[in-house]
Amino acid sequence: MEDYLVGIDFGACNLKAVAFDGKFKPIQLNKNESGIKYAPNAIYYSETSDGEVEKIIGQIAINYSKTDEKNFVDKIKRKIEIADWKQLIKSLGREVTAKEVVKDIFEKMKSSFFDNKKDQNIRAILTVPVCFSKIQRDLIKQAAEDAGLKVECLISEPFAALFALNDLPDFDKKLIMIFDLGGSTLDVSIAQVDRLNDGGLKITELAASGICFGGLDIDKDIYEKILLKNFKNDFDNSMVDRSNREEFFLDFARDLKEMIFKGRAKEISAMHLTAGYPEGLEKITLKRSDIENLLETSDYKKKIFDLFDSLFDDLDENGNYHDKSEIAKIFPFGGTCKIPFFTKILEEYFGEEVFNVEDFDFNDEDLLLEGLEDRYLAVAGGAVNYLNSKINGLKVETINVIPFCIGYAQGNKFIRGIARNMPFGFESMPLILSLNELNQNDWTFSVYQCFNNQKKLSLDDSGLAVFIGKIKLTENDYEKEEPPFVTMRIMKDGKLRLQFFDNQKLRDSKKKGRVMIEEKFIEIGG
């Protein structure tokens, strides 16, 4: 059976997919929209005349939602971040979970992959935000597999975008940065490119980090701090009778924002929107100057500066000692980068020599590999290019970092074992465990993942540390006269290796070096 390689960018706002069979083929997901190679990440569950339920994705789903929101779900990527999220779907007569919705969307995407060739074996690579936890990665991978896709691996969104660049070899021995600001997350990756003697490339990801911030947050601020403030009566009196009324208005704010930044208009009226908004909203206007003032007075710049600072701090902590002056070029991706405020932040932080706003063109066709067309397809296209390189043994060597910390619970504290942005294969220093803690917990060892790089933090701080697994140790194999210790290593296959040692046995042993009692593994990566 012929292999069909496909990269999937499951974006917060839009779905993108690119196939590769010798050349890149952006996949038309909205069959009714000629020339548009991406589709809104939304699904509508439509009741048919014979009592069945048809699943519809993309712009048509949004169109249906204008008159029937009870069978509609969008922004599901944000909902993956919410523990135990569920929504009642009237046509199904039951609640759906985030995993079920994601599976249904993947099933509809899959039907667009074949071009009527049913004898192809789909081998997919999925992209995820840097700040997705293991739980979120597992959910999206399992949903894709439940939809019938063979998922080869997961890759972070900014690292995928690296493989879409047309001129990577030109940056031999230099550092480059991917700045990917989309609808839901901001992801940043710093990589070093080296040409190999055999003509291939070695790409070393030195640091990666991300935060849950993007275009959806800006939409919320525009609605609450500009539109609602100026047009509260219009919103209150509009003919909108919906259970998700506020979310509906957020989409309205998004459409106005996107219209402004498509061109150079100083002001946009809701009368120009074609999305089928109901009577009562047509008098609402949005000024570019109001958005610019909102951006300037918000904490957005501080969030991004803090993210950059933490990346370079991680490099210093881990012995790489690179600073921002060494970045040769920055590549912005993600639709939110169309807003000039965010590219100006890059210029302010790194300087005009590294990034000049005047030189930035979001629609630069020469930036990406032939066939990828535009920046919207960079993540999906780069992902499938990476997968093709991996499967077919092309001359690309990659060294990834771990964009999160791994540690364990001691009392209500998270104890860091592996720091963020250490390379895969790095082994932690020996970590001494607590005998009292082990005895109290029946000799179980709880492992956590965290995106905060502090060495110790409280597990009571919701969301900072995510539980990923528990190991039952063989209690009778330990002498227990002194505390045992553990070392951690994340292997290249994405598994966390834990080796447990006994200090007493080490002292009594006639062998030189450590004496390992047992070795355990937990799946971490995709």
How many domains does one find in the chain? 3
Closest CA to 59 of 79, 43, 82: 43
Q: Tell me, yes or no, whether 409 and 456 share the same domain.
A: yes
Q: What is the DSSP string of 86-126?
A: EEEETTTTEEEEHHHHHHHHHHHHHTTTSTT-TTEEEEEEE
CA-angle at 142, arms to 141 and 146, nearest 5°: 120
Q: Tell me, yes or no, whether 178 and 315 share the same domain.
A: yes
Q: Tell me, yes or no, whether 190 and 152 share the same domain.
A: no
Q: Tell me, yes or no, whether 273 and 295 share the same domain.
A: yes
Q: Tell me, yes or no, whether 137 and 181 share the same domain.
A: no
Q: Tell me, yes or no, whether 141 and 197 share the same domain.
A: no
Could you tell me how many helices (H) and strands (E) the chain has, helices first? 14, 27
pLDDT along the chain (526 residues), means of 10: 86 92 87 72 91 90 86 91 90 95 94 66 91 90 94 94 92 95 94 88 92 94 95 84 79 91 87 72 92 96 96 87 93 94 97 95 89 90 93 82 91 91 90 92 93 81 80 91 90 89 67 78 78
- Asked whether 236 and 242 are in contact (CB, 8 A), the reply is no
Tokens (6 digits) for 336 = 């939110």
Q: What is the DSSP string of 254-295?
A: HHHHHHHHHS--SEEEGGG--S-PPTT-TT-EEEHHHHHHHH
- Which H/E stretch holds residue 239? none
Q: What is the CATH number of the domain that holds 344?
A: 3.30.420.40
Q: Tell me, yes or no, whether 422 and 434 share the same domain.
A: yes
pLDDT number for residue 114: 67
How far apart CA 403 and CA 315 sit, in angstroms, is: 12
Q: Tell me, yes or no, whether 23 and 132 share the same domain.
A: yes
- Asked whether 353 and 131 are in contact (CB, 8 A), the reply is no
How far apart CA 272 and CA 288 sit, in angstroms, is: 15
pLDDT number for residue 307: 95
Q: Tell me, yes or no, whether 149 and 178 share the same domain.
A: no
Q: Tell me, yes or no, whether 59 and 176 share the same domain.
A: no
Helix %, strand %, coil % of the chain (to 5): 35, 30, 35
CA distances from 442 to 416, 439, 449 (A): 22, 5, 22
- The domain in which residue 357 lies consists of 167-365
On whether the pTM is more than 0.85, the answer is yes
How far apart CA 30 and CA 40 sit, in angstroms, is: 9
Q: What is the CATH number of the domain that holds 476?
A: 2.60.34
Cα 461 off chain centre by: 22
pLDDT number for residue 140: 95
Q: Tell me, yes or no, whether 507 and 496 share the same domain.
A: yes
Instruction: Among 346, 365, 384, give the residue marking a domain's end.
Output: 365
Q: Tell me, yes or no, whether 391 and 509 share the same domain.
A: no
Which residues are CB-contacts of 62 (< 8 A; sequence separation ≥ 6)?
40, 42, 44, 72, 74, 275
How far apart CA 22 and CA 326 sit, in angstroms, is: 35
